Chain A
Amino acid sequence: MSYSTLSSICEESESTGIPFWQLIERDDCRERQVSEDEVFETMRGMYHAMKAADRSYDPELRSASGMTGGEGAKIEAYRKSGHALLGDFLSEVIEKAVKMAESNACMHRIVAAPTAGSCGVIPAVLLAYEDFRGAEEDEIIKSLFVAAGIGEVLAETACIAGAQGGCQAEIGSAAAMAAGAVAFLEGGDNETVIHAAALAIKDLLGLTCDPVAGLVEVPCVKRNAAGAAVAMTAAELALAGVRSQIPPDEVVEAMDAVGSQIPACLRETAEGGLAVTPTAKRIQERLNQQSDME
């Protein structure tokens, strides 16, 4: 990947007239020596896999630990009851995010974006958007390149693994990528896109990674809903003209610094935070006994 800053993508886009999404697409062409069509279709394949995963949600499924399953269906029922304060669109976003993350915990096929733990955020936002706006699929695919470009900068300059940088690296990165994608879809210019991403990162900076019993379930599943909502909020702010006072690339650098300052017990080791609450310890105990019995 040739870009380690968000501003370098914007500058190149400005000077060449090539859109943000296409710079990212062409970068992959160069790297893997494949045609633009091929890269575009591979990305379409990713989007179709996201759609298929959303369609195949099964409310009856439970994870091996018993901690996860069935909650997405509850959100759907509540939305359909007409009580959703968030409105139909945002309520559908959080519903899809939880469904996807539940499917992941229950060993269904998903698309890691950027990780398996945060796989619900981007598809939730984009699938609901496609429905709501009646958007062209090709535009959604382009927005996935925008998201990927933001993700690549984060991977390069900060990090996208909970074990390395806490949950800001997973849910935070996913939210930043989704925010940028929506800002693009709504016609935002490059500056709007990267400010949407920066605003999302700022909202989730320092988030702990403290999964109960070390499993990608609690708090991960519901954090996907929160991440998706943050993404929508950040996109809306940026589209309204709100700007991050700290320039986006400085926000990314701060994220990197915070990632290494987060203590090891809050980086996927299950030795801090929610993972060491009395209830979490009881769950851990029960699971240990189960695996010993086998």
Chain B
Amino acid sequence: MNLFDIIGPVMVGPSSSHTAGAVKIGFVSRRLMGCDIRRAEILFYGSFRTTGRGHGTNLAVVAGLLGMHPDDDRIPHSLEYAKRAGMEVEFGNVELKDAHPNSVLLRLTGVDGKKLSIVGESVGGSLINIAEIDGLSANFTGDNPTLIAHNDDEPGHVAAVTSMLAAEHINIATMQLYRKSRGGTAVMVIETDQEITKEGLAWLRHMPGINKITYYSVADLGDTPADRMRREDEAAREQNGEVREAEKRRS
């Protein structure tokens, strides 16, 4: 455990799993989407469903989807910010099979029309796990760049992917492999220390036998709605301040 997990983190309460972890799930999901979100259906399961309201889990997930971090003091007002950012939000409950007790299913539509469904779990402290993407198992934390490859279950694909990573001098932090059935679809989840280049990803996408590549980058994805609204508010405050100063001078 890190020293600043003992004294820290700085976070908006009340619960590291039900509030801070929920913000992170939203935040990581927005990154996976790669663009702003137009519509979010947020479905709670287990203890997220039974104690979520009291822990502000609903507000927390929305805050994360807007690009807020767990220490953002705007989290309690995230629904108003969602309205302002033009993000439609709908809450509900869901039954999930074999899911962690703190789980949420997100059905997201991006401003570019892209759709994504994600199951996120808050697994203790403020640690999270992205368990599923579009109905397929994923299992990663969102702390590292992550490559998820769905491929035919046949020899050679793991070697192909890892040798591409080696050629790009990318170090593997963790790697998991699993499959639904022998000879069916297999999944590789690889967390890396460095970002994978666009060329590397394109190369993988063209490889025969690889059906789908999902890449999660931790690089700065640019402005989030949360960033933009912060700037707007600051500008407005400054202007108000100037107006008040001017009034003071006049009186």
Contact = CB atoms under 8 A, between A and B. Distances in A.
Interface of A: 1, 24, 27-28, 31-32, 39, 42-43, 45-46, 49, 63-65, 103-117, 119, 122, 144, 147-148, 151-152, 155-156, 160-161, 163, 213-217, 270, 287-288, 290-291, 294
Closest 3 CB pairs of A and B: A104-B13, A214-B51, A151-B6
A108 B8 contact: no
B124 A107 contact: no
A111 B2 CA distance: 15
Contact of A111 (B7, B47, B51, B125): B7
B20 A32 contact: no
A161 B13 contact: no
B4 to A, nearest CB: 6
Contacts of B8: 46, 111-113
Given A28-B3, A42-B4, A216-B55, A116 B16 contact: yes
B53 A287 contact: yes
B1 A112 contact: no
Contacts of A115: 16
A252 B141 CA distance: 31
B13 A119 contact: yes
B154 to A, nearest CB: 41
A28 B55 CA distance: 32
Contacts of A290: 53
B6 A148 contact: yes
A215 B14 contact: yes
A112 B9 contact: yes
A160 B53 contact: no
Given A63-B54, A216-B55, A108 B7 contact: no
Given A27-B3, A148-B7, A152-B3, A110 B13 contact: yes
Nearest to A154: B6
A7 B14 CA distance: 34
A110 B9 CA distance: 8
Contacts of B47: 214
B11 A291 contact: no
A87 B102 CA distance: 44
A294 B93 CA distance: 11
Interface of B: 1-16, 19-20, 47, 50-56, 59, 71, 73, 75-76, 91, 124-125
Contact of A1 (B3, B9, B12, B51): B3
Given A215-B51, A216-B55, A108 B73 contact: yes
Nearest to B6: A151
A107 B59 CA distance: 10
A28 B6 CA distance: 12
B56 A107 contact: yes
A116 B15 contact: yes
A24 B13 contact: no
A60 B14 CA distance: 17
15 contacts: A1-B3, A46-B8, A105-B13, A107-B56, A111-B7, A111-B9, A111-B11, A114-B5, A116-B13, A116-B15, A155-B1, A214-B50, A215-B51, A217-B14, A290-B53
B5 to A, nearest CB: 8
B14 A63 contact: yes
A270 B13 CA distance: 19
Given A107-B56, A215-B55, 10 more contacts: A64-B54, A107-B75, A112-B10, A112-B11, A119-B13, A148-B6, A152-B1, A214-B50, A216-B13, A216-B14
Contacts of A119: 13
B71 to A, nearest CB: 6
Contacts of B91: 294
Contacts of A42: 4
Nearest to A292: B93
B13 A106 contact: yes
Contacts of A45: 10
A39 B7 CA distance: 12
B6 A65 contact: no
Contacts of A163: 124
B3 to A, nearest CB: 4
Nearest to B125: A161
> Residue among A42, A45, A114, A117 with the most chain B CB within 10 A?
A114
B13 A107 contact: yes
Nearest to B1: A155
Contacts of B4: 28, 42-43, 46
Contacts of B15: 116-117, 216
A294 B90 CA distance: 11
Contacts of A110: 10-13
B14 A104 contact: yes
A223 B47 CA distance: 23
A148 B5 CA distance: 9
A38 B195 CA distance: 26
B12 to A, nearest CB: 5
A160 B6 contact: yes
Nearest to B47: A214
